[in-house]
């Protein structure tokens, strides 16, 4: 069975899958959603240094290739690889990742050499956004913005079935939009960046300080909000207000049809979405309100997106050229 390798490299773990590549693109049929044939995980092992991480990626992919050949009658026809940090997707280079310690690694060429098939390299959040936009919460939306609220905050700008990388691979960094000028310092060098206020880590920190329990995190804060704790409501609303300020800047610039919010903080569900929709609605004047929805694919988005990148290599067909 024709299939591709999908590999999503995170700071602590790697998620991989073999994804069916039968996309039935002839006769104007829209691409089928990817079928996951086989899934696997492995520790990233970043404490061993950047070279060892690269070797682990290459070895893991080669094992997946062997697994596919054995179980599906043929080896994978292409591979997609999603990595964190700054990624030059056009040239297939992992430019920089603070948490993995690498600089200018030609990952696409290295993996294509090892596997002997075409490889696509993507940025983890943009790749996850590609999956959310095409087959997840934004399915069918011609313009969307995907914003995962995790350790930090990033964004993926979806336009007509693809995700905008920018001229230098930096597009979508909404976490470093300044929402509180002169506010909390950010490792990026600015003060008052959105991710200092509305990431899951920032809310965890704020709630731990406010409730006096250093172990308390954002999920505990959401529970306390749901039970009506006024202290928690204050901490939560500060995060929601900062987030709404950042999102309104983004939607004023981009005019997305759908705003997909993911990551750890979005797991709070309506505890987040109800006040967030209200806060965004209060801020817009002339702008059109997008629908604000939770991400649908969870932590498999990056891996599914890597599979879509690989399938795109085989199809050479822009999904927007396919008329349903
Ligand atoms: Zn920043």
Using one digit for the tens of pLDDT, what is the confidence trace for 269-314? 999 999 999 999 999 999 999 999 999 999 999 999 999 999 999 9
> What does the pLDDT look like over 31-72, one tens digit per residue?
567 788 999 999 999 999 999 999 999 999 999 999 999 999
Q: 259 — phi, psi (to 5°)?
A: -115, 115
Q: Which of 40, 51, 277, 266 is nearest to 137 (CA)?
A: 266
Cα(180) to centroid(ligand 1), Å: 11
pTM of the model: 0.90
Distance between CA 242 and CA 203 in Å, rounded?
11
Cα(192) to centroid(ligand 1), Å: 7
Cα(201) to centroid(ligand 1), Å: 14
Distance between CA 275 and CA 230 in Å, rounded?
15
Given a contact cutoff of 8 angstroms between Cβ atoms, the answer to whether 138 and 159 are in contact is no
Cα(258) to centroid(ligand 1), Å: 25
Does the pLDDT value for residue 318 go beyond 70? Answer: no
Cα(95) to centroid(ligand 1), Å: 19
Cα(173) to centroid(ligand 1), Å: 9
Cα(123) to centroid(ligand 1), Å: 18
Given a contact cutoff of 8 angstroms between Cβ atoms, the answer to whether 133 and 143 are in contact is no
Does the pLDDT value for residue 28 go beyond 60? Answer: no
Extract the tokens encoding 311. 């399938």
The pLDDT confidence band at residue 223, using thresholds 50, 70 and 90, is: very high
Cα(175) to centroid(ligand 1), Å: 6
Does the pLDDT value for residue 103 go beyond 90? Answer: yes
Cα(189) to centroid(ligand 1), Å: 6
Rounded to 5 degrees, what angle do the CA atoms 10, 16, 19 make?
140
Cα(26) to centroid(ligand 1), Å: 46
> What does the pLDDT look like over 119-160, one tens digit per residue?
999 999 999 999 999 999 999 899 999 999 998 999 999 999
Q: What is the SS3 assignment for 127-148?
A: HHHHHHHHHCCCCCCCEEEEEE
The pLDDT confidence band at residue 163, using thresholds 50, 70 and 90, is: very high
Cα(17) to centroid(ligand 1), Å: 33
């Amino acid at each position: 069975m024709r299939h591709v390798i999908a590999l999503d490299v995170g700071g602590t773990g790697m998620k991989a899958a073999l994804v069916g590549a039968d996309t039935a693109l002839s006769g104007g049929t829209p691409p089928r959603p990817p079928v996951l044939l086989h899934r696997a995980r492995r520790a990233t092992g970043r404490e061993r240094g950047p070279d060892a991480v690269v070797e682990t990626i290459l070895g893991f992919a080669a094992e997946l290739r062997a697994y596919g050949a054995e179980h599906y009658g043929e080896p994978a026809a292409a591979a997609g690889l999603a990595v964190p940090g700054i990624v030059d997707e056009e040239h297939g280079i992992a430019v920089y990742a603070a948490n993995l310690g690498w600089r200018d690694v030609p990952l696409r060429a290295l993996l294509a050499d090892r596997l002997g098939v075409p490889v696509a390299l993507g940025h983890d959040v943009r790749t996850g956004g590609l999956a959310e936009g095409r087959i997840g919460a934004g399915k069918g939306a011609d313009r969307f913005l995907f914003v995962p609220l995790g350790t930090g905050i990033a964004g993926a700008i979806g336009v007509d079935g693809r995700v905008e990388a920018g001229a230098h691979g930096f597009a979508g960094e909404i976490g470093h939009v300044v929402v509180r000028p002169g506010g909390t310092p950010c490792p990026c060098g600015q003060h008052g960046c959105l991710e200092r206020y509305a990431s899951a880590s920032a809310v965890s920190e704020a709630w731990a300080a406010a409730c006096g329990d250093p172990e308390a995190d954002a999920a505990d804060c959401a529970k306390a909000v749901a039970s009506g704790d006024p202290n928690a409501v204050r901490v939560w609303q500060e995060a929601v207000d900062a987030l709404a300020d950042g999102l309104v800047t983004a939607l004023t610039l981009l005019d997305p049809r759908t705003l997909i919010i993911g990551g750890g903080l979005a797991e709070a569900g309506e505890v987040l979405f109800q006040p967030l929709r209200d806060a965004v609605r209060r801020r817009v004047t002339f702008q059109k309100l997008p629908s604000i929805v939770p991400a649908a694919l969870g932590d498999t988005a990056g891996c599914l997106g890597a599979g879509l990148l690989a399938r795109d290599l085989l199809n050479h067909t822009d999904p927007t050229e396919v008329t349903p």
